[in-house]
Chains A and B, each alone.
Chain A
Amino acid sequence: MSLKKLQSVGIELKNIDLSYGDTQVIKNVSLKINKGEFFAFLGPSGCGKSTLLRLIAGFEQCQNGEVFLGDEEVSRLPPWKRNVGMVFQNYALWPHMTIWKNVSFGLEERKLPHNEINQRVNDALELVGLQDYAQRRPNQLSGGQQQRVALARTIVIEPRVLLLDEPLSNLDAKLRVHMRQELLELQRKLGLTTIFVTHDQEEANTTSDRIAVLQDGIVQQVGSPMDLYDKPENLFVAQFLGSANVLKGKIKTEGNDAIFEGEQGLKVSLSNCDAEGSKSIIFRPQNIFLCEQGSGEADLNGIVKKREFLGNLVRYEIQVDQQQILVDEIYGLGKEPAEEGMQVGLSMDSDHVIIM
């Protein structure tokens, strides 16, 4: 089984509404996840991402809308008839069964012949490198090993899609990086449509083909990690993926150029801009630079309020009028960082400005 591509299908959610009593947790969500895609639901806690995942698995019922697995509408099917693999946040390994029994459970429920069960459980444990642990109990394994068992238990049934509910959140930082690479490798090997729920943008960015950013039960934006970063459609997405500076102001047209006039007296000329009127501009901390105050380069002037040394970067928080602006500078040997309280100028790279 280990290298055979699974019979994977795409997932489509159509106009999903879901409430608990009076609280609406999912509001008219529509999503299309392609066959074989590694897809992430990203958002802060309480945004509805886990609920959406549990809906696909059949543990939640939506009031309106349809869930398609491939061509099949499944929203009325009970969980045990969906053939959707889910890895739980706490792994949910059964403590009264050995690892082998945990992994063979789903196959036994499907009443497969004995030797086929043996073969597949063996293959699945081998795939996650735990064949020597078959007779142990879950509480005798480390967190990372338990995670692998949970994965083996799920993929051994050859599910149509794989759902991962914050699978890395119970692991320590180093293991988390390692496991996410393993997950991705496994997913590529099996070609399994996978949804990964996380609140960690780095996890989503490093693994996923595409991400849906959720907030307040609404899909804010769907796109590849870089798309979301470069072209956020709203403030929430801009600030949830990476750090972002936001300045309010107006855009005026002067001849062929569009000029942004900020409330702080900032003037930047923007290329390729056809917007006009009251707007905000967004730019990343790495697209603005410190320079001498009053020099020709300086678009803005401010005072260094805070300085954080992050190793490869130095992050400054600069006060400009009433507003804080984050500036990242690459740190290198011999570089003299600005001191807190220093008057500095800021020069902006206008090619990387996002208008909103």
Chain B
Amino acid sequence: MTSKAYKNPGQTALFFFIALFLLSFLIIPVVKVFYVAFIDVNTGNLTFINFVDFFNTSLFMESFYNSFYVAAMSVLLATLISLPLAYFTTRFEFKGSIIIQSLGFVPLIMPPFVGAVAMQLLFGSNGSINLLMDEYFGFTIPFMEGLNGVIFVQSLHYFPFILINLSASLNNIDRSMEESAQNLGSSGMRLFRRIVFPLAMPGYVAGASLVFIKVFDDLGTPLLLNVNNMLAPQAYLRISSIGIDDPMGYVIAVILVIFSLFAMWIASLALKGKDYSTVQKGGGGLAKRKMRPMERLIAYFIVIFILLTVLSPHFGLTMLSFGTIWSYSILPDGFTPDHYVEIFSETPEFMMNTLLYASLAASIDIILGTSIAYLVLRTKIRFRHWLDYAAMAALAVPGLVLGIGYLRTFLGASIPFGDAPLATWWVMLVIALSIRRLPYALRACTSALQQVSRSLEEAAENLGANKAKTIQRIVLPLMSGGLLAGFVTSFATAAVELSATIMLVSTESDAPLAYGIYVFMQSAAGRGPGAALGMVAVLIVGLGTYFSHRIIEKGRLERSLESNHK
């Protein structure tokens, strides 16, 4: 074997093109944000003065504390929601498991800021639940007061991340792990504490750190609930009201990135060297037993109570979108399809823009993802792994930070062949969306390529096809299922991205759905149409999730059929 790889100029060109793209639209903007945070506005020297100012301003310290508090409490509440659900499905032969497995993941298809206003109408101080409670019991509960509201909305939306990870790691524990402990004299809570819990811990930490960082970074939900004394809203307000030169927005951006990295580090520590998946071939997960009738009754009660709560944003949004006036009453005064008529007749651009931006962003993701996956897995170009690392690093960059970075980096530049500012050109929004979704798309593309056996390509090359022809005729067709699934997921999530959007949209005519929902929801009169737009968003994400799931399942089925034929 020769040590020198066969050189292919096309591959090298592709490598440099992607490197340039990631450099321009991910690395430089983020570096710029960090740079500005450490620069003295007046002298231009490197300094820590901005951070000193930050920590000396009581509003910022309060926001910092609040963001941390909200993120931590959301993890706690999400855990309380997930624990019984995971426990019932993994330890018992419980018919309700099917309900949990299907409905438990529905919250993820509704972006949290979309449901926030509906939640206020249901759970707010004058919302349906409190009106009912006041009437029958004479007291109310401040579910939605200030930070409580953010915690409530976020945990209802993000708990499936914990549920999925926790259930998966519980299911991966082999029955013999538990039996050997029983054999050695352990049982009950002690057995759970010493064996089951530690083995499930890595999965839980991974899910919990994801929830923590999503909540910590989120801009849309606090803004819509009018909670401004948190970090992300503060950064947004500083940049949008004081201006692009104010260093505080940058300091906050740096703190957000550092926390993201920290949470990812914790998660990787929790998972490192702890492949606790102990299930043996033919063996099952933990022993399941039948519930006694009383236990079953209690279990159903808990499951239905939790599911009603976590699905309440969906009920609320549906009612809001069909309701006439809904204020200080348990239900809307009447029902009407007018809001849907309004959004489709008067502001169709929100939906048209969304379809355009999200499909462009998803296409960019799939092209970049496939290219990076191919370069990393199938070529020997030096530094090719850095493309992978750089693309994955986008995970640690909140949309808000990316938005600020674009505004600052492309400050003063104009769009090609025009004089409008470049940073707020809609194309930049598309690029920002694609960068935000790239890590997920890249993982989908990488796994799709890994499933294409190397020998299939070699056979084509052996029969005379060159690299480009092989990719076109063999690799891409075989990857198509995985790519399509990646495309649909990217599309659905890009369609409802708010935090980068809010920074980069300058005119309403260029704005996508998420921005439209945000604008509508600001006024009482706009809530109806806003909710109708929200329903459209839920529909897009829901259908997207469903189809990508179907495509992946179909691919898995076909592969298992193929291997059966061999």
Interface residues of A (CB under 8 A from B): 57-59, 78-86, 88-90, 92, 94-97, 105-106, 109-110, 139, 153-154, 157
Q: How far is the CA of A203 from the CA of B525 in the complex (A)?
A: 82
Number of interface residues of B (CB under 8 A): 25
Q: What sequence of 0s and 1s flags, for each residue 170-209 of chain B, a beta carbon within 8 Å of any chain A beta carbon?
A: 0000101101111111110011001100110100000000
**A58 (CB) vs chain B CBs: closest residue:** B182
For A83, list chain B residues within 8 Å (CB): 185
Q: Does B480 contact A (CB under 8 A)?
A: no
Q: Are A95 and B199 in contact, with the CB atoms below 8 A?
A: yes
Interface residue from B181, B194, B283 paired with A90 (Cβ < 8 Å): B283
Q: How far is the CB of B184 from chain A (nearest CB, A)?
A: 3
Q: Does B280 contact A (CB under 8 A)?
A: yes
Q: Are A94 and B199 in contact, with the CB atoms below 8 A?
A: yes
Q: Knowing A88-B179, A90-B174, A90-B280, say if A96 contacts B185 (CB, 8 Å).
A: no
Q: Does B550 contact A (CB under 8 A)?
A: no
Q: Knowing A80-B186, A83-B185, say if A59 contacts B179 (CB, 8 Å).
A: yes
Q: How far is the CA of A59 from the CA of B187 in the complex (A)?
A: 13
Q: How far is the CB of B201 from chain A (nearest CB, A)?
A: 8
Give the most central of B181, B274, B275, B276: most A CB within 10 Å: B181
Q: How far is the CB of B280 from chain A (nearest CB, A)?
A: 5
For A86, list chain B residues within 8 Å (CB): 179-180, 183
Q: Are A109 and B177 in contact, with the CB atoms below 8 A?
A: no
Q: How far is the CB of A47 from chain B (nearest CB, A)?
A: 16
Q: How far is the CA of A79 from the CA of B182 in the complex (A)?
A: 6
Q: How far is the CA of A157 from the CA of B274 in the complex (A)?
A: 28
Give the most central of B177, B180, B187, B190: most A CB within 10 Å: B180
For B274, list chain A residues within 8 Å (CB): 95-96
Q: How far is the CA of A310 from the CA of B349 in the complex (A)?
A: 82
A-B contact pairs, 23 of them (CB 8 A): A59-B182, A78-B182, A80-B182, A80-B183, A81-B185, A82-B183, A83-B185, A86-B179, A88-B176, A89-B176, A89-B280, A90-B174, A90-B176, A90-B280, A92-B174, A94-B198, A106-B184, A106-B186, A109-B186, A139-B275, A153-B180, A153-B184, A154-B184
Give the most central of A94, A110, A157: most B CB within 10 Å: A94
| Beyond A82-B183, A94-B177, 5 additional pairs, beta carbon < 8 A | A59-B182, A78-B182, A80-B187, A86-B183, A106-B184
For B283, list chain A residues within 8 Å (CB): 90
Q: Does B101 contact A (CB under 8 A)?
A: no
Q: How far is the CA of A82 from the CA of B184 in the complex (A)?
A: 9
Q: How far is the CA of A150 from the CA of B179 in the complex (A)?
A: 13
For B184, list chain A residues within 8 Å (CB): 80, 105-106, 109, 153-154, 157
Q: How far is the CA of A186 from the CA of B446 in the complex (A)?
A: 51
Interface residues of B (CB under 8 A from A): 174, 176-177, 179-187, 190-191, 194-195, 198-199, 201, 274-276, 278, 280, 283
Give the most central of B176, B199, B274, B275: most A CB within 10 Å: B176
Q: How far is the CA of A78 from the CA of B289 in the complex (A)?
A: 14
Q: Are B185 and A157 in contact, with the CB atoms below 8 A?
A: yes
Q: Are B185 and A110 in contact, with the CB atoms below 8 A?
A: yes
Q: Are A105 and B186 in contact, with the CB atoms below 8 A?
A: yes
Q: How far is the CB of B175 from chain A (nearest CB, A)?
A: 9
**A101 (CB) vs chain B CBs: closest residue:** B194
Closest CB pairs A-B (n = 5): A106-B184, A92-B176, A79-B182, A92-B180, A109-B185
Q: How far is the CA of A58 from the CA of B187 in the complex (A)?
A: 13
Q: How far is the CB of B319 from chain A (nearest CB, A)?
A: 47
**B197 (CB) vs chain A CBs: closest residue:** A96
For B174, list chain A residues within 8 Å (CB): 90, 92
Q: How far is the CA of A80 from the CA of B184 in the complex (A)?
A: 6
Q: How far is the CB of A149 from chain B (nearest CB, A)?
A: 11
For A58, list chain B residues within 8 Å (CB): 182
For B177, list chain A residues within 8 Å (CB): 92, 94
For B187, list chain A residues within 8 Å (CB): 78-80
For B186, list chain A residues within 8 Å (CB): 80, 105-106, 109
Q: Knowing A92-B174, A109-B190, say if A84 contacts B198 (CB, 8 Å).
A: no
For A94, list chain B residues within 8 Å (CB): 177, 180-181, 195, 198-199
Q: Are B183 and A57 in contact, with the CB atoms below 8 A?
A: yes
Q: Are B179 and A79 in contact, with the CB atoms below 8 A?
A: yes
**B279 (CB) vs chain A CBs: closest residue:** A90
For A81, list chain B residues within 8 Å (CB): 185
Q: Are A95 and B276 in contact, with the CB atoms below 8 A?
A: yes
For A89, list chain B residues within 8 Å (CB): 176, 280
Q: How far is the CB of A89 from chain B (nearest CB, A)?
A: 8
For B199, list chain A residues within 8 Å (CB): 94-96
**B280 (CB) vs chain A CBs: closest residue:** A90
For A78, list chain B residues within 8 Å (CB): 182, 187
For A88, list chain B residues within 8 Å (CB): 176, 179-180
Q: How far is the CA of A58 from the CA of B178 in the complex (A)?
A: 13
For B194, list chain A residues within 8 Å (CB): 105
For B176, list chain A residues within 8 Å (CB): 88-90, 92
Q: How far is the CB of B327 from chain A (nearest CB, A)?
A: 54
Q: Knowing A90-B283, A105-B194, say if A80 contacts B185 (CB, 8 Å).
A: yes
Q: How far is the CA of A109 from the CA of B180 in the complex (A)?
A: 12
Q: How far is the CA of A32 from the CA of B187 in the complex (A)?
A: 29
Q: How far is the CB of B483 from chain A (nearest CB, A)?
A: 35
For B182, list chain A residues within 8 Å (CB): 58-59, 78-80
**B194 (CB) vs chain A CBs: closest residue:** A105
Q: How far is the CB of A151 from chain B (nearest CB, A)?
A: 12
Q: How far is the CB of A169 from chain B (nearest CB, A)?
A: 11
Q: How far is the CA of A350 from the CA of B126 in the complex (A)?
A: 101
Q: How far is the CA of A96 from the CA of B275 in the complex (A)?
A: 10
For A57, list chain B residues within 8 Å (CB): 179, 183
**B180 (CB) vs chain A CBs: closest residue:** A92
Q: Are B181 and A105 in contact, with the CB atoms below 8 A?
A: yes
For B278, list chain A residues within 8 Å (CB): 90, 92, 95
**A140 (CB) vs chain B CBs: closest residue:** B273
Interface residue from B179, B185, B190, B201 paired with A106 (Cβ < 8 Å): B185
For B190, list chain A residues within 8 Å (CB): 109
For A154, list chain B residues within 8 Å (CB): 183-184
**B179 (CB) vs chain A CBs: closest residue:** A59
Q: Are B195 and A84 in contact, with the CB atoms below 8 A?
A: no
Give the most central of A59, A81, A139, A154: most B CB within 10 Å: A59
**A96 (CB) vs chain B CBs: closest residue:** B198
Q: How far is the CB of B273 from chain A (nearest CB, A)?
A: 8
Q: How far is the CB of B272 from chain A (nearest CB, A)?
A: 12
Q: How far is the CA of A90 from the CA of B280 in the complex (A)?
A: 8
Q: How far is the CB of B206 from chain A (nearest CB, A)?
A: 15
**B182 (CB) vs chain A CBs: closest residue:** A79
For A90, list chain B residues within 8 Å (CB): 174, 176, 278, 280, 283
Q: How far is the CA of A80 from the CA of B190 in the complex (A)?
A: 12
**A54 (CB) vs chain B CBs: closest residue:** B179
Q: Are B276 and A85 in contact, with the CB atoms below 8 A?
A: no
For B183, list chain A residues within 8 Å (CB): 57, 79-80, 82, 84-86, 154
Q: How far is the CA of A110 from the CA of B184 in the complex (A)?
A: 9
Q: How far is the CA of A130 from the CA of B199 in the complex (A)?
A: 24
For B180, list chain A residues within 8 Å (CB): 86, 88, 92, 94, 153
Give the most central of B177, B195, B199, B283: most A CB within 10 Å: B177
**A105 (CB) vs chain B CBs: closest residue:** B184
**A83 (CB) vs chain B CBs: closest residue:** B185
Q: How far is the CB of B548 from chain A (nearest CB, A)?
A: 33
Q: How far is the CB of A308 from chain B (nearest CB, A)?
A: 29
Q: How far is the CA of A79 from the CA of B183 in the complex (A)?
A: 6
Q: How far is the CA of A110 from the CA of B183 in the complex (A)?
A: 12
**A109 (CB) vs chain B CBs: closest residue:** B185
Q: How far is the CA of A220 from the CA of B194 in the complex (A)?
A: 42
